[in-house]
Amino acid sequence: MTSRPAAGGGRWVEVDPARVARWVGGFADRHGPPTTTRQEYGLLLAAPDGASAELHTPPGAPSVPDVPGFVAAADAPRRIALLLARRGAVAVGVAEGERLMVSKVDTRYVQGRTAAGGWSQQRFARRRDNQAKAALADAVDLAVRLLLPEAGTLAALVGGGDRRAVDTVLADRRLAPLAALRHERLLDVPEPRHAVLVAAVAAARAVRILIREPVPEP
């Protein structure tokens, strides 16, 4: 389970689907039995002491009105596509439940920024821009070859890395069926490699929970 502060207060935790029921039980033990309300994002648990937990439905899982149904839906195996892109590297894959079934990683050199000025800086900038465009074109071709044929079997597509790069790849008209399956979640990943892609499967399946503690009395 990972945890990080949330903008606007509270904290985000990411919980493996198999551990969500235990997590909810612990929340109830700490704060009292919560009421459950169905929301657009998933479920809201509101405890008697003022604490709350927003359980966000993971990519590809159906929306359900209660905790047992949410847990079952989150843990159920489903096929999701992964598209990780950052600078000159891209990784694509299809996961069935926790297993990565199809995968491909591609890298292309993209020159770093230079401190040189004037004409030299402009020349390096143009070269870097051309290299980045070529890398994204390769990423599109890779998605067309590996992910597009699977579109009809997928519950969702999850992107990761640089949002602009992922947006650019999915803007290609050929990938419209995949863009329609894109989930709002963007995974925070380093430069895509096979190990990063494997780890992204668990991150894409994790249940994100926003926790807000009770406000102390003055």
pLDDT mean over 202-209: 96
Query: What fold is seen in the domain 80-203?
Result: Nucleotidyltransferase; domain 5 (3.30.420)
pLDDT mean over 116-143: 63
Amino acid identity for residue 118 in this structure: G
The pLDDT of residue 121 is: 58
* pLDDT (tens digit per residue) in 65-98: 999 999 999 999 999 999 999 877 899 999 999 9
The pLDDT of residue 33 is: 96
The ranges assigned to domains in the chain are 2-76+206-212, 80-203
pLDDT at 111 exceeding the cut of 50 = no
pLDDT mean over 123-134: 54
What confidence category does residue 205 fall into, taking pLDDT thresholds of 50, 70 and 90?
very high
Residue 18: count of CB within 10 angstroms of its CB:
12
pLDDT at 112 exceeding the cut of 70 = no
